[in-house]
Amino acid sequence: MKKIFLTTITLLSMASASVFGMYGVDTDWIFFFTHGNQFRARLDQLGFTLGNDTIKGTFGFDNTGFGGAYGGLLLDNDGTHYSFVPSISMGLAYTSSLISVGVGYNATIGGHTQKFNGKLEPKTVNKSAHTPVLVLNAMDNAFRMAIPIQVVNLTDKFGDLKGSVTAVSLEAQFRYYTGLDFLPQIRLYLRYGNYDYEFNDGGTKEKVKFAETFGFDFRLWFGSMVEEVAINPIIKIQYNGALGKQHNQTRIQAADLVHYAALGGVPTTWSESWAKGAWDLKIIPALGITANSDIVSLYVEPSLGLQITQKGSVTDNKVKELYSLYYGAYAEIYITPLKNLEWYFEVDLNNGGTTADQSTITFASTTGITWYLPAL
């Protein structure tokens, strides 16, 4: 058993990715008010939340999800030195049973790149993305929302040449806990993103919108109990698509751009006129199963559904969409050997790809501990 446990931890360490956690740029900020005082250390994040019944604050680090050493916090630039490339988050909030309001900020640091800034010799700089966050809970935390907005602006100048790439993306989440046994929870995620390029060559200006996307994720939770096990059927409807027909991207996350080379290295995949824009739609029934004991809590969520993928095309307006089967398995395990100390394990496996033969499989996981602290 010990050998199996150690092997599992090793595999998780190798496969960890940043898809979870309040200390990143995503909408898991929605847990800011409901998390108690704690110190958290996981493979993909490190941080703490402290406060009392009125004031709460948080500070932490999250890996950027772009690989690298030591949990993704360090990026190997050229084989000789590393860049420190975390997401750094901080937040402050006022809390009460009637309404809680908080603000957060995240800086996502990119790897080294060269910037001329009007001079003949370039300097080595680090790009960064900025993500302000608004968090609000009401009705004794029955209604919750988190709205992070990612902003990236990359500029450079060489002689008479000036260029800039600007990207903005929104990933808002809204939750309502109804208090009803048969429909305990409703969620809505809204996504919007765009990025464009502006070029000035001695007074000759050019501005191009590379991409613009919109998406949503609507989920309904249904509830029942079988002895001491909670059974929650879930319906998920997920859509992501290009606005207009000018590109082949379905979901833009602005913070990703800091990990590409500035200006010329930003992925454009742009044409003056695409014959057909890209989109994808998933309809996913899932089943959430929760079981608890004094020491162990387990949540598993298998899912099986339909996904429809429309690839964009520059020339062919009759290109057909692809239909395929979506499947996934998600699990969380909480082990609490001591009252205030918890070991956490999370894993997500799904095919979420875009090919009819379902050949694209993604695996993400994380593990770590949470030390629950007394109120201040």
Contact 352, 318 (CB under 8 A): no
Model confidence over 254-297: pLDDT tens digits? 887 776 543 344 444 455 567 788 899 999 999 999 999 999 99
First to last CA, the chain: 40
pLDDT at 193 over 60: yes
Give the residue among 171, 128, 167, 123 at the shortest CA–CA distance from 147.
171
Residue predicted with more confidence, 118 or 288: 288
Interatomic CA distance for residues 47 and 30, integer angstroms: 16
Model confidence over 319-354: pLDDT tens digits? 889 999 999 999 999 999 998 999 999 999 988 754
Phi, psi torsion values for 119, nearest 5 degrees? -110, 165
Contact 366, 24 (CB under 8 A): no
pLDDT average, residue stretch 14-24:
40
Please state, in angstroms and as integers, the Cα–Cα distance from residue 5 to each residue in 10, 191, 283, following that order. Answer: 9, 38, 35
Domain that holds residue 76: 2-372
The mean pLDDT value of the chain amounts to 81
Q: Which two tokens stand for residue 139?
A: 């009705």
Model confidence over 206-259: pLDDT tens digits? 887 788 899 999 999 999 888 889 999 999 999 999 987 667 788 888 887 776
Burial class (CB in 10 A: 0-12, 13-18, 19+), 207: exposed
**Total number of domains constituting the chain:** 1
pLDDT at 8 over 70: no
pLDDT average, residue stretch 139-160:
89
**Beta carbons within 10 angstroms of residue 51's beta carbon:** 20
Contact 38, 371 (CB under 8 A): yes
Contact 42, 21 (CB under 8 A): yes
pLDDT at 165 over 90: no
| Percentage of the chain exceeding pLDDT 90 | 46
Residue predicted with more confidence, 371 or 123: 371
Cβ neighbours of residue 230 closer than 8 Å, sequence gap 6 or more: 223, 224, 288, 289, 290, 291
Residue 64: pLDDT band (50, 70, 90) is low
Give the residue among 229, 248, 367 at the shortest CA–CA distance from 298.
229
* pTM over cut 0.95: no
